[in-house]
DNA sequence: TGGGGTTTTTTCGCATTCGAATAAAAAGAC
DNA sequence: GTCTTTTTATTCGAATGCGAAAAAACCCCA
């Protein structure tokens, strides 16, 4: 072996990612995935094993030939924090080095919370995780609502926290915790969660549908998030929109298709009807409905999805947020309606599916950010 | 100097691209752009100069310090062919090694042409170019209509040439010419043309609007073309659409906004009105119009552009095709109307501009493909 | 039980690439 | 003019990463 080889941090990080994701389980497959030679890969793996980031866990016999020496990540090598918030609450998760979800924390924010308070609360959430998680904290991912400059590490704006303007989040959090902090818009973080914890496993192209208080989407093309020149890609909610039922005055899409609006429409209530305590529960009640309201809502969703499919050609749309309680039936209805209404969609493999991740998808996505950004010291 | 260094072809190619585009003009800037060390860059440049691909053309004195030794591409090192076609005609251009347009050729195809005939005609166009261009042909780029699998080098389908199905174009052309052949959808090729020959110079994010016989778009995000999982991204023309004037039955977008449809609407004629011999001339006549028809057309375009801006957040939309004769005024009207009708667009930097490239944009784009793909033997 | 076949892993020499220092080239200060 | 400052280019030793070949590990089949 070489005496004191100095390795490229990025390559070490990429190797760990490959192993953690399960895409590469042996030195040879890892070499192919990373695009470096088998000999070099061997050295890198040796180093990572020596540093207790990876270990060998048995053999994997292929149909023939020498069996692969299975590489796995060492779960106790440290942990990642993933934090997501909006104006109501903070959600945080602790994930071990193998990518296993170990702990989950929620914190309700007071009404009319301000930016500084949010930052403090985030730190206290991470501290709560740290009390239980074993090993050192390796990095923190943050899913931030509103406009985010991921590269600069700055939260640009968010409608529901008035002074959330140009907040240097990475600096504020990072200087306290002394670990790398990675920022991303929370919906785009969810897209990463889907890749690590959900259905996006084998997918390189998909769209996250995020109808919540508004309606945003996150797009993944060839494995990369689409951010937009000004970090504002995916603002479908602001499309002009005329709901398919009744020729009301035209408005913006989120007035018709946000989670609350969808509930009101499905429940047959007016646009000012009071929301139930628990929106998910309310939605669950109307999930089995049929009739004109149901059809109208499906038609509207189908129109959005169809239009997106025609532009982006991604094929898979993953529904997130409260509306997932409407279940497969809802998603299936959208897919069907879209193909009926827009013949051009036939044969495009269009498919809408509900996410299998729960309410903490955003936090999981943030943890994914942390994992993807980490590389050994 | 080292005796016989073996260089990476890709890196050599990337270096030439940098120099040709004018983004890197000296060894040091080139080193930064390529992400390799200055010393290695020096060796690469020496090699490229020795092989007559680059040369040094004088000095460039910065505000201080040793002046840069300006690197330029050797125009006569060879040439690239760019070919684009549709069911009506083939356009081909010859571009020298410095990216200068040297020659242009057009060939009208007979009605109801078949795939084999097209391939033959493409070869004859290239032969015509070869007769005049100096130096060896280095590679050929092809802008193909319809669905294209760029990686596989196969034309998948095209509505207006019946037997254009699964045509292994790269194989057919490449085996005859014995140079690399690169395929791409013709509208996406135009996006590259814009980068090399037009307004896309400094842009990393933009959208090409291509209203012709249909309505397609090509998208560039962070310098990369968006292809879609099934090579079908950008099919905006198949959006369901209700033109803003008159509540006609709803139809698809290209029925309202293709180049012919736009002319008919601007000229105040019905959807079956006979087209003029020369559509561009016809459009030029109505370019100065005002009134309800003009406003309606602008509103429709504004709706499309606005929706696209909200999803993609690219900022710049470049109008291509016959409608460019409507000029700045048309584009400006679209921009204005969009911002008025969709308040969310304020501050997004939305801008629609007509392309400065002419009718051979597609062929130029194909030549760009050829240039981008080339690397020394 | 031993040999051929197949795939993974490691060994080992070589050379491409890097880093740091050095040289080169010019502007501006004095 | 000479010296400092600044930026670019080159030199040169060191070492990271590669390729080819060897070794290892396992299957199958006589």
Task: Point out the residue nearest to C6 (C-alpha to C1').
Answer: A65
Other C-beta atoms closer than 10 Å to the C-beta of A278 total: 10
Mean per-residue pLDDT for B349-360? 94
For the stretch A63-75, pLDDT in tens is 899 999 999 999 9
Q: Which residues contact B36 (CB under 8 A, 6 or more apart)?
A: B11, B44
User: Is position A286 within any domain?
Assistant: yes
- Max mean pLDDT range (A217-221, A285-289, B252-256): A217-221
Q: Which of B47, B73, B99 is the last residue of a domain?
A: B73
Q: Which residues contact B163 (CB under 8 A, 6 or more apart)?
A: B114, B115
Ranking A286-295, A361-370, B117-126 by mean pLDDT, the lowest is A286-295
Task: Point out the residue nearest to D27 (C-alpha to C1').
Answer: A64
User: Is position B41 within any domain?
Assistant: yes
For position A45, which CATH number holds? 1.10.10.10
Distance CA B99, CA B16 (A): 11
User: What integer pLDDT is reported at residue B248 of this predicted model?
Assistant: 60
Distance CA B55, CA B58 (A): 10
Residue ranges making up the domain that contains A259: 200-354
User: Is position B329 within any domain?
Assistant: yes
Query: Is A217–B311 a contact, with Cβ atoms under 8 angstroms apart?
Result: yes
Instruction: Give chain B positions within 8 Å (CB) of A252.
Output: 344
Is-contact B20 B78, C-beta < 8 A? no
B63, B86: one domain: no
Is-contact A184 A227, C-beta < 8 A? no
Mean per-residue pLDDT for B232-257? 84
Is-contact B280 B325, C-beta < 8 A? yes
For the stretch A168-179, pLDDT in tens is 999 999 999 999
CA dist A304 → A286, A301, A317 (Å): 22, 5, 11
Interface A-B: count of C-beta contacts within 8 A: 102
Shortest Cα–Cα distance, A172 to chain B (Å)? 28
Strand C CB-contacts below 7 Å: A 1, 26-29, 38-39, 42, 45-46, 62-69; B 2, 4-8, 11, 35-40, 43, 59, 61, 64-67
A156, A223: one domain: no
Task: Please check the confidence at residue B227 and state whether its pLDDT lies above 70.
Answer: yes
User: What integer pLDDT is reported at residue A5 of this predicted model?
Assistant: 67
Mean per-residue pLDDT for A248-252? 75
B9-21 helix and B27-34 helix, angle to the nearest 10 degrees: 120
Shortest Cα–Cα distance, A62 to chain B (Å)? 29
Q: Which of B73, B90, B107 is the last residue of a domain?
A: B73
Task: Please check the confidence at residue B140 and state whether its pLDDT lies above 50.
Answer: yes
User: What integer pLDDT is reported at residue B354 of this predicted model?
Assistant: 97
Instruction: Give chain B positions within 8 Å (CB) of A231.
Output: 313
Distance CA A229, CA A224 (A): 14
Query: Is A229–B204 a contact, with Cβ atoms under 8 angstroms apart?
Result: yes
Q: Which residues pair with B96 in a beta bridge?
A: B79
B97, B223: one domain: no
Mean per-residue pLDDT for B31-48? 96
Share of chain B above pLDDT 70, in %: 97
B350, B264: one domain: yes
Q: What does the mean pLDDT of chain A come to?
A: 94
Q: Which residues pair with A107 in a beta bridge?
A: A90
B16, B157: one domain: no
User: Is position A323 within any domain?
Assistant: yes
* Nearest-nucleotide field for A56 (CA, C1'): C9
Is-contact A304 A351, C-beta < 8 A? no
User: What integer pLDDT is reported at residue A246 of this predicted model?
Assistant: 60
B346, B270: one domain: yes
B349, B212: one domain: yes
Task: Please check the confidence at residue A1 and state whether its pLDDT lies above 50.
Answer: no
Distance CA A152, CA B27 (A): 29
B279, B208: one domain: yes
A231 touches chain B (CB under 8 A): yes
* Nearest-nucleotide field for B61 (CA, C1'): C26
What's the DSSP call for residue A272?
Answer: T
| Nearest one of A5, A12, A367, A15 to A198, comparing CA atoms | A367
B233, B293: one domain: yes
Instruction: Give chain A positions within 8 Å (CB) of B209.
Output: none
Q: Chain A residue closest to B305 (CA)? A: A239
Give A248's pLDDT tier (boundaries 50, 70, 90). Answer: low
Q: How many domains does chain B have?
A: 3
Find which of A214, A313, A317, A318 to mutate to test the B interface (most B CBs within 10 Å of its CB): A313
B230 touches chain A (CB under 8 A): yes
Burial A102-135 (b: 16+ CB within 10 A, else e): bbbbeeebeeebebeebbebbbebbeebbeebee
For the stretch B182-208, pLDDT in tens is 999 999 999 999 999 998 888 999 999
A239 touches chain B (CB under 8 A): yes
User: Is position B178 within any domain?
Assistant: yes
Give A249's pLDDT tier (boundaries 50, 70, 90). Answer: low
For position B179, which CATH number holds? 3.30.420.40
DSSP assignment of A296-307 equals HHHHHHHHHHHH
User: Is position A1 within any domain?
Assistant: no
Query: Is B232–A311 a contact, with Cβ atoms under 8 angstroms apart?
Result: no
Shortest Cα–Cα distance, B70 to chain A (Å)? 32
* Nearest-nucleotide field for B43 (CA, C1'): D10
For the stretch A94-108, pLDDT in tens is 999 999 999 999 999
* Nearest-nucleotide field for A65 (CA, C1'): C7
Give B245's pLDDT tier (boundaries 50, 70, 90). Answer: low
A128, A215: one domain: no
Query: Is A217–B349 a contact, with Cβ atoms under 8 angstroms apart?
Result: no
The answer to whether strand D lies under 7 Å from the CB of residue A38 is: yes
| Spacing of A36 CA from D15 C1' in Å | 17
What is the value of pTM for the model shown? 0.93
A234 touches chain B (CB under 8 A): yes
Task: Please check the confidence at residue B2 and state whether its pLDDT lies above 80.
Answer: no
User: Is position A4 within any domain?
Assistant: no
A165, A310: one domain: no
Query: Is B239–A341 a contact, with Cβ atoms under 8 angstroms apart?
Result: no
Is-contact B310 B345, C-beta < 8 A? yes
Instruction: Give chain A positions within 8 Å (CB) of B205.
Output: 228-229
Give the SS3 label for residue B122: helix
User: What integer pLDDT is reported at residue A278 of this predicted model?
Assistant: 92
Distance CA A177, CA A184 (A): 18
User: Is position A114 within any domain?
Assistant: yes
Distance CA A263, CA A211 (A): 11
Sort strands B181-185 and B137-144 into parallel, antiparallel or unpaired.
parallel
Shortest Cα–Cα distance, B231 to chain A (Å)? 7
Find which of A200, A310, A350 to mutate to test the B interface (most B CBs within 10 Å of its CB): A310
Select the residue of A230, A252, A310 nearest B238 (Cβ to Cβ): A310
* The CA-based dihedral angle spanning residues B28, B30, B31, B34, taken in that order and rounded to the nearest 10 degrees: 170
Distance CA B38, CA A60 (A): 44
Select the residue of A205, A229, A307 nearest B315 (Cβ to Cβ): A229
For the stretch A43-70, pLDDT in tens is 999 999 999 999 999 999 988 999 999 9
B274, B150: one domain: no
Q: Chain B residue closest to A253 (CA)? A: B307
Give A245's pLDDT tier (boundaries 50, 70, 90). Answer: low
User: What integer pLDDT is reported at residue B226 of this predicted model?
Assistant: 97
Instruction: Give chain B positions within 8 Å (CB) of A35.
Output: none
Instruction: Give chain B positions within 8 Å (CB) of A234.
Output: 311, 313
A87's tokens: 């104006």
Select the residue of B205, B229, B303 nearest A314 (Cβ to Cβ): B229
């Amino acid at each position: 072996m070489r005496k004191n080889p100095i390795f490229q941090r990025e390559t070490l990080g990429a190797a760990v990612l490959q192993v953690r994701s399960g895409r590469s389980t042996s030195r040879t497959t890892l070499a192919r995935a990373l695009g470096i030679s088998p000999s070099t890969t061997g050295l890198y793996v040796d180093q990572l094993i020596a540093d207790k980031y990876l270990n060998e866990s048995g053999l994997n016999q292929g149909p023939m030939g020498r069996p692969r020496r299975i590489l796995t990540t060492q779960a106790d090598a440290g942990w990642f924090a993933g934090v997501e918030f909006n104006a109501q609450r903070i959600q945080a998760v602790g994930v071990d080095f193998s990518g296993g979800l170990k702990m989950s924390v929620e914190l309700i924010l007071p009404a009319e919370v301000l930016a500084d308070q949010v930052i403090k609360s985030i730190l206290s959430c991470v501290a709560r995780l740290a009390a239980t998680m074993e090993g050192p904290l390796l990095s923190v991912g943050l899913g931030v609502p509103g406009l985010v400059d991921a590269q600069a590490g700055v939260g640009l704006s968010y409608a529901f926290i008035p002074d959330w303007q140009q907040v240097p989040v990475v600096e504020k959090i990072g200087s306290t915790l002394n670990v790398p902090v990675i920022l991303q818009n929370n919906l785009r973080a969810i897209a990463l969660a889907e890749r690590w914890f959900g259905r996006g496993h084998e997918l390189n192209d998909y769209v996250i549908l995020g109808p919540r208080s508004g309606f945003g989407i996150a797009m993944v093309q060839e494995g990369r998030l689409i951010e937009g020149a000004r970090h504002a890609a995916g603002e479908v909610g602001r499309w002009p929109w005329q709901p398919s039922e009744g020729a009301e005055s035209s408005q913006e899409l989120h007035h018709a298709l946000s989670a609350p609006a969808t509930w009101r429409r499905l429940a047959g209530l007016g646009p000012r009807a009071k929301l139930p305590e628990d929106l998910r529960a309310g939605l669950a009640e109307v999930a089995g409905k049929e009739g004109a309201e149901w059809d109208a809502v499906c038609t509207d969703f189908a129109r959005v999805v169809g239009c997106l499919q025609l532009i982006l050609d991604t094929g898979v749309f993953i529904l997130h947020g409260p509306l997932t309680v409407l279940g497969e039936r809802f998603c299936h209805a959208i897919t069907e309606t879209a193909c009926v209404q827009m013949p051009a969609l036939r044969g495009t493999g269009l498919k809408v599916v509900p996410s299998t991740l729960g309410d903490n998808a955003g936090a999981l996505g943030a943890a994914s950010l942390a994992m993807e950004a980490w590389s050994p010291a």
